[in-house]
């Protein structure tokens, strides 16, 4: 009999799936799961008979850590092997204040084919199940200690697996378990307009980041094929709707690529796109991927671009480059060697 993966089940589902005779047992099991136990024997307030029964029919981990890499800057990357032998990656990011953020994947590979992203070269295999998403968070927490935030910015396009992401968030945010605040959860999309409206209307109320990279329509279509069916004017309307509906500021992410999108005209395009919008612009110097024919921007390119946006009165920040030496930085996931 195939064991049931249970880390994505709520208390009612645990009661039903595990055929528990006492409902309060489901709350106990749910709490243990949120604390990261990897064995039913660790659930010491359950009877030996119940622990044995659970071990026969359920599993706390459907996946395994197959590789762990640690960058000198404190970034940790885990390669996770799934039950079908597919591999994904997740990353632990540490900021200057010591806050820990889990960057998790939502798909095996990615179908978006962004020209500057390593994951886009892998192709798309399948969506992850909610329990496979949660297990990444639990693995990182086991390896690195209690986490403060989670971002859906790993491998894959979150808006194309929103159902399973919603399930994962519901479990992680459940007050009977991990109780992670939705204010500490961010979803990043390459610009799936339908998904942005869906998230705005149907929740959960989490933070939104949009990978913009450039506000030049032709260049964006070249770098990000998703733009062909999700054009910039409609994307802007969707972002404005999200901000108005949720009351949450949106982050626009821009991967700065040397000699590609760092000139004054590119800055002007971005200024025009962001004007009169409640957004934060997060500038990300492109991280090198050996298979891709791009170059890192110079410090001068980055500084000049920043100053142009700053003069326009926009809210801008530079993302700290973390995990670059282990292939764990933005755009590098999938580099499993």
Domains in the chain: ranges and CATH: 4-59 (1.10.150), 64-326 (3.20.20.70)
Neighbours of 312 (CB within 10 A): 15
Question: If you ran DSSP here, which 8-state letter would residue 190 be given?
Answer: S
Token pair, residue 137, equals 């968070």
DSSP for 274-313 reads: HTTS-EEEEEEEPPP-TTS---PPPHHHHHHHHHHHHHTT
Instruction: Count CB neighbours of 285 within 10 A.
Output: 23
Q: Which residues, at least 6 apart from 121, have a Cβ–Cβ distance to it below 8 Å?
A: 291, 292, 334
**Cβ distance 105 to 165 under 8 Å?**
no
Report the predicted TM-score, pTM, of the whole model to 2 decimal places. Answer: 0.95
**Bridge partners (DSSP) listed for residue 76:** 70, 92
Whole-angstrom distance, CA of residue 328 vs CA of residue 92: 9
Q: Which two tokens stand for residue 238?
A: 């969707």
Digits of tens for pLDDT over the chain (337 positions)?
699 999 999 999 999 999 999 999 999 999 999 999 999 999 999 999 999 999 999 999 999 999 999 999 899 999 999 999 999 999 999 988 999 999 999 999 999 999 999 999 999 999 999 999 999 999 999 999 999 999 999 999 999 999 999 999 999 999 999 999 999 999 999 999 999 999 999 999 999 999 999 999 999 999 999 999 999 999 999 999 999 999 999 999 999 999 999 999 999 999 999 998 999 999 999 998 888 999 999 999 999 999 999 999 999 998 766 777 777 778 888 855 4
Q: What is the DSSP letter of 196?
A: H
Both tokens of 150, joined, read 């989670």
In the DSSP assignment, the letter for residue 89 is: E
Instruction: Cite the active site residues.
Output: 89, 330
| Angular region, 24: left φ>0, alpha ψ -120 to 50, beta rest | alpha
């Amino acid at each position: 009999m195939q064991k049931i993966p249970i880390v994505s089940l709520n208390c009612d589902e645990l009661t039903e799936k595990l055929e528990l005779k006492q409902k309060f047992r489901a709350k106990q099991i749910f709490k243990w799961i949120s604390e990261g136990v990897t064995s039913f024997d660790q659930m010491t307030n359950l009877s030996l008979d119940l622990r044995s029964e659970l071990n026969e029919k359920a599993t706390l981990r459907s996946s395994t850590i197959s590789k762990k890499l640690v960058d000198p800057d404190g970034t940790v990357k885990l390669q996770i092997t799934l039950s079908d032998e597919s591999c994904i990656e997740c990353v632990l990011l540490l900021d200057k204040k010591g806050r820990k953020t889990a960057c998790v994947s939502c798909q095996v590979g990615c179908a978006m084919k962004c020209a500057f992203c390593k994951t886009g070269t892998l192709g798309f295999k399948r969506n992850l199940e909610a329990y496979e998403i949660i297990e990444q968070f639990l693995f990182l927490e086991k390896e690195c200690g209690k986490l403060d935030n989670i971002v859906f910015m790993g491998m894959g396009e979150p808006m194309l697996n929103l159902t399973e992401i919603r399930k994962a968030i519901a479990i992680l945010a459940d007050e009977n378990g991990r109780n992670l605040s939705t204010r500490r959860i961010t979803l990043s999309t390459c610009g799936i307009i339908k998904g942005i409206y869906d998230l705005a209307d149907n929740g959960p109320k989490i933070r939104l980041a949009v990978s913009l990279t450039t506000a030049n329509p032709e260049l964006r279509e070249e770098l990000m094929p998703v733009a062909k069916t999700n054009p910039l004017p409609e994307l802007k309307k969707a972002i404005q709707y999200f901000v108005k509906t949720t009351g949450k500021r949106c982050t626009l992410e821009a991967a700065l690529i040397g000699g590609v999108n760092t000139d004054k005209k590119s800055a002007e395009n971005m200024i025009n796109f962001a004007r009169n919008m409640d957004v934060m612009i997060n500038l990300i110097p492109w991280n090198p991927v050996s298979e891709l024919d791009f170059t890192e921007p110079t410090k001068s390119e980055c500084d000049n671009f920043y100053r142009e946006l700053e003069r326009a009165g926009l809210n801008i920040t530079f993302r700290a480059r973390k995990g670059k030496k282990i292939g764990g930085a933005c755009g590098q996931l999938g580099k499993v060697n």
